[in-house]
């Protein structure tokens, strides 16, 4: 049986960031990803926004990881020439009641350490976004966008250069705690591709669960049934090329009061396309990206108050992603990230409910997890 210091389950942006952070310090680090390539889950099915940290309750892990992750991500992207843009964003309001909500958001952001926030008037909005209708807006200068694919590739390359082994098409199917290790059983190959499947067991001193939507199932393999992840689909449309001039940067409505999502927003990407979305709807299955997609008219309805001239003929359907929510359907509130050593099997580190702002937070999460790994491997 092979031995490892660390086995990371899941090769999304979080798993890859963790692989980079822990392989700086330890040898025999393995990352295991079931898909043919890294980052095929939520990590490349999102808005690519580098969030500032204005939304999350002060003191929460989401607030701390987002604000710190924002800083680390800009530094990392500049150092490694990863395509990104610190373009700032506007959160818009249509009347004085909504302006008061912008003030609350700004106060919350300041409490989280976000700087440069200020409320601007209609003329200032028009100067930046001539086609946007708003009475007021909150300017958030530290928001930006990043190429998630390039970020993941760079993290993976550095982890490999530092000696980590990154295995794709390999699935973790069993986790068995032993006296001073966890036996991790892997199945290599893809049955749907006609591959010959092979099974192997690695004895790991530490297991890090970065399995995204499936993190509850990985925790359950260790006997921990405290968590349940509810998949919430976010669908996008895209402005047709001829209309992409309508938006210069990022424009958001006020977030949903129930905490479900930030609301359908407008995102100019690094490739000069403009995304409209994502929506937020609970779905029954974690693999259900496409069934019963919303009609284009629904995106027009949600974006119209921000961008009055938008018409159905300006939009085409784009991709969708699935959020790993800890809040069940019918309940309101923001659940915090869970990042902790398992209570029953403390040589396992659980990362559960890593929904937005997980992309922004990935480098800060990785540093935090590396400290927990240090406790396990001391
Ligand atoms: C619609 C949408 C928009 C978003 N927008 C933003 C945004 O603008 N900014 C932002 O900061 N965040 C955003 N997010 C959140 C962000 O995308 C996620 O928080 C982040 O990608 C989570 O990364 P991850 O590595 O934890 O998960 P994932 O990328 O889902 O990776 C988990 C990986 O684990 C693998 N895996 C699972 N089970 C096993 C197993 N048994 N064996 C082997 N491998 C396994 C999966 O195949 C998967 O690749 C958005 C998310 C969505 C869905």
Nearest 5°: phi and psi at 256?
Answer: -55, 135
For the CA of 49, the closest atom of ligand 1 is 8
What is residue 53's predicted lDDT score, i.e. its pLDDT? Answer: 98
CA of 319 to the centre of ligand 1 (A): 15
69: Cβ below 6 Å to ligand 1? no
The Cα–Cα gap between 267 and 288 comes to 24
Q: Are 38 and 20 in contact (CB under 8 A)?
A: no
If residue 192 lies in a helix (H) or strand (E), which one and from where to where? none
**Which tokens is 93 given?**
């309001």
Mutate to test the pocket of ligand 1, among 19, 41, 267, 354 (most ligand atoms within 8 A of CB): 41
Mean pLDDT of the chain: 96
Tens of pLDDT, residues 236-274: 999 999 999 999 999 999 998 887 888 899 999 999 999
The Cα–Cα gap between 113 and 135 comes to 26
Q: Are 43 and 18 in contact (CB under 8 A)?
A: no
| Residue labelled with tokens 């958030």 | 140
- The residues facing 340 across adjacent strands are 350
Between 40-44, 211-215, 329-333, the lowest mean confidence (pLDDT) is in 329-333
Q: Are 102 and 137 in contact (CB under 8 A)?
A: yes
- The residues facing 302 across adjacent strands are none
What is residue 194's predicted lDDT score, i.e. its pLDDT? Answer: 82
Whether pLDDT at 1 is above 70: no
Mutate to test the pocket of ligand 1, among 32, 54, 56, 356 (most ligand atoms within 8 A of CB): 356
Q: What is the mean pLDDT of residues 314-342?
A: 96
CA of 134 to the centre of ligand 1 (A): 33
Whether pLDDT at 328 is above 70: yes
Tens of pLDDT, residues 21-51: 999 999 999 999 999 999 999 999 999 999 9
Cα separations in angstroms, 264 against 40, 47, 55, 247, 282: 23, 11, 15, 14, 15
Chain-centroid distance, C-alpha 179: 35
């Amino acid at each position: 049986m092979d031995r490892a210091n660390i086995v990371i389950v899941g090769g999304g942006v979080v798993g890859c960031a963790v692989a980079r952070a822990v392989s700086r310090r330890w040898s025999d680090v393995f990352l295991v990803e079931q898909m043919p390539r890294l980052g095929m889950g939520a990590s490349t099915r999102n808005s690519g926004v580098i969030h500032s940290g204005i939304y999350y309750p002060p003191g929460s892990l989401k607030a701390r990881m987002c604000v710190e992750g924002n800083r680390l991500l800009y530094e990392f992207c500049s150092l490694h020439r990863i395509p990104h843009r610190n373009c700032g964003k506007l959160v818009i309001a249509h009347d004085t009641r909504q302006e008061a909500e912008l003030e609350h958001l700004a106060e919350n952001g300041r409490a989280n350490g976000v700087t440069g926030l200020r409320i601007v008037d209609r003329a200032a909005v028009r100067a930046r976004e001539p086609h946007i209708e708003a009475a007021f807006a909150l300017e958030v200068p530290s928001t930006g966008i990043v190429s998630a694919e390039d970020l993941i590739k760079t993290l993976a390359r550095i982890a490999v250069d530092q000696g980590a082994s990154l295995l794709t098409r390999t699935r973790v199917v069993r986790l068995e705690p032993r006296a001073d290790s966890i036996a991790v059983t892997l199945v290599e190959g893809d049955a749907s591709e006609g591959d010959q499947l092979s099974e192997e067991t690695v004895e790991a001193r530490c297991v890090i669960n970065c399995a995204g939507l499936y993190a509850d199932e990985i925790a359950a393999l260790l006997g921990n049934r405290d968590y349940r992840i509810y998949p919430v689909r976010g669908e996008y449309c895209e402005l047709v090329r001829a209309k992409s001039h309508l938006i210069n940067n990022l424009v958001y409505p006020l977030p949903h009061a129930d905490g479900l999502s930030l609301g359908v927003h407008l995102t100019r990407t690094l490739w000069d396309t403009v995304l409209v979305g994502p929506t937020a709807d609970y779905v029954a299955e974690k693999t259900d990206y496409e069934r019963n997609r919303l009609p284009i008219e629904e995106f027009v309805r949600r974006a119209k108050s921000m961008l009055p001239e938008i018409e159905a003929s300006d939009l085409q359907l784009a991709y969708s992603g699935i959020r790993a929510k800890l809040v069940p359907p019918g309940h309101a509130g923001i659940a915090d990230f869970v990042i902790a050593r398992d209570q029953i099997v403390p040589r396992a580190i659980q990362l559960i409910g890593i929904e937005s702002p997980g992309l922004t937070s990935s480098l800060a999460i990785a540093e935090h997890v590396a400290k927990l790994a240090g406790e396990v491997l001391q």
